[in-house]
Amino acid sequence: MNFIETKLLPVLLKVGNNKHLIAIRNGISMTIPFTIIGSFFLIIGNFPIKAWTDLIEPWSNLLNAPVNVTFGVLGLISAIGIGYHLGKELGTDPISNSLLTTIGFLLATTNNDLSVNIDALGASGMFTAIVIGIFVTHSFRYFVKKNIVIKMPEGVPPTVAMSFTTLIPGAFVLIVIWVLRCLFGIDLNALISYLFQPLVSGMGTLPGMLIYTTLVCLLWICGIHGDNILSGIATPVFLGYLAENTHAFQNGVQAQNIIAEGYWIVFMCIGGTGATLGLVLNMIRSKSKMYKSIGELSLPSAIFCINEPVIFGLPIVMNPIMIIPFIGTPVILCIGTYILMSMGIIGKIVIQVPWTIPPVIGAYIATNGNIGAAIWSIISIAISYIIYMPFFKMMETQQLKNEAESTE
């Protein structure tokens, strides 16, 4: 615990509190409602019942249109969102910054014939949106800070004044991107994707996922929302893999990516981070009045993957007894899920579901009705219950002694 508090935690906190990562996380989160809506249409068009698919077949192309649009503009939505939130975090006008980032993103991702590249508007352009957003925001901020802007007289409406304020920094940004993309012929989207490839490849592996899991859980043990801290790094990667799986599924091809958006939530956060639903079930059966009450109060939220009542009520935070099961349970579920998916026993994720969706149901929907995934989700609850049991019993024994002494 001392090493975590003095060495590891300060580094992770510094990373998590970085304004750029906060803005990237918030900006990319704007894609969530659209991917869920697109997934809803995907479910309707591909519900795993033959009678239904036969009935719906004449409308399959119509139902795919919202899917193609929502998943096909993830990069564009990210550029809009990242530009807006970076502007808020770094002190530039959010709307102007968002618009300038979007235009810069479109220019940077043009085809070789310098027309708009439709493919780059999707998940493949998300990292370009991040880089362009950072470049635009810092350029905009520099020009405003150095007062290298066109100022309008007092009395001019604020929106008009801001339009002229954006003129010089906007021209600078677009000229720089134009020179690189159009004059020098540098494929910025391909270059940026290549630079981020080690991160993408690493997060798509079992070791990478285990490292991510451990770091998230360690932050929670220290009382910090680990998912929020690291999502700015992981979400673009996971969304990219999900978009590839969804595209393959639409075209009747086997999805290839085991790790994708939803893998963490659906299969490893059974009851919340740390897969604490098994712990809640242990608490409900406890002989301790206090733990039993906390368990009963925590169960409704745990069903929807919200476990702050357990993390701070048991507590798990700064609790050395709970470190092993809180990290070990999702690690074991991660390994088990990865092996089962690689063997084809459970389906891969092709549909995004809300993070609050209950276990079993989420696994079934995310894999488009894969029975094996639903069964594994039930088994995962049992695994969680078994792993947490001996550690919880240690705490329960001490608590029962305290309650007995209090009664006496």
The ranges assigned to domains in the chain are 2-199, 202-407
Q: What is the mean pLDDT of residues 309-313?
A: 89
| Residue 6: predicted pLDDT | 65
Nearest to 229 by CA among 22, 52, 23, 19: 22
pLDDT: is 408 or 63 the higher one? 63
SS (H, E, C) 219-231: HHHCCCCHHHHHH
Q: For the ranges 105-114, 257-266, 309-318, 333-342, which has the lowest average pLDDT?
A: 309-318
Predicted local confidence at residue 15, as pLDDT: 66
Q: How far apart are CA 380 and CA 267, in angstroms?
A: 8
Residue 47 is which amino acid? Answer: F
C-beta neighbour count of 163 within 10 angstroms: 17
What's the rounded mean pLDDT across residues 244-258?
90
Please determine, for residue 1, whether its predicted confidence score (pLDDT) is greater than 60: no
Per residue in 137-196, pLDDT tens? 999 999 999 998 888 777 777 778 888 889 999 999 999 999 999 999 999 999 999 999
**Comparing 381 with 230, which gets the higher pLDDT?**
381
The arithmetic mean of pLDDT across residues 291-317, rounded, is 90
Q: What's the whole-number mean pLDDT along residues 246-275? A: 92
**pLDDT of 16 above 70:** no
The verdict on whether omega for the bond into residue 153 sits within 30 degrees of 0, i.e. cis, is no
DSSP secondary-structure letter at 119?
G
Among 400, 402, 404, 403, which residue's Cα sits nearest to residue 392? Answer: 400
What local confidence, expressed as pLDDT, does residue 3 receive?
A: 60
For residues 289-318, average pLDDT: 89
Kindly tell me the number of DSSP H helices and DSSP E strands found in the chain.
21, 0
Judge whether residue 319 has pLDDT over 60: yes
> Which tops the pLDDT comparison, 385 or 8?
385
* Structure token digits, residue 239: 């969304």
Section 266-286 average pLDDT: 93
126, 239 contact by CB (below 8 A): yes
pLDDT digits (tens, 9 = 90+) for 36-60: 999 888 888 877 777 777 788 788 7
Most distant CA pair in the chain, distance = 85
Question: What pLDDT, on a 0 to 100 scale, did the predictor assign at position 384?
Answer: 96
* Backbone phi and psi for residue 345, each to the nearest 5 degrees, phi listed first: -75, -35
3-state helix, strand, coil in the chain (%, to 5): 75, 0, 25
How many Cβ atoms from other residues are within 10 Å of residue 222's Cβ? 17
Predicted pLDDT of residue 348? 95
Tell me, what's the pLDDT at 330?
96
Query: Chain-wide mean pLDDT for the chain?
Result: 89
pLDDT of 336 > 70? The answer is yes
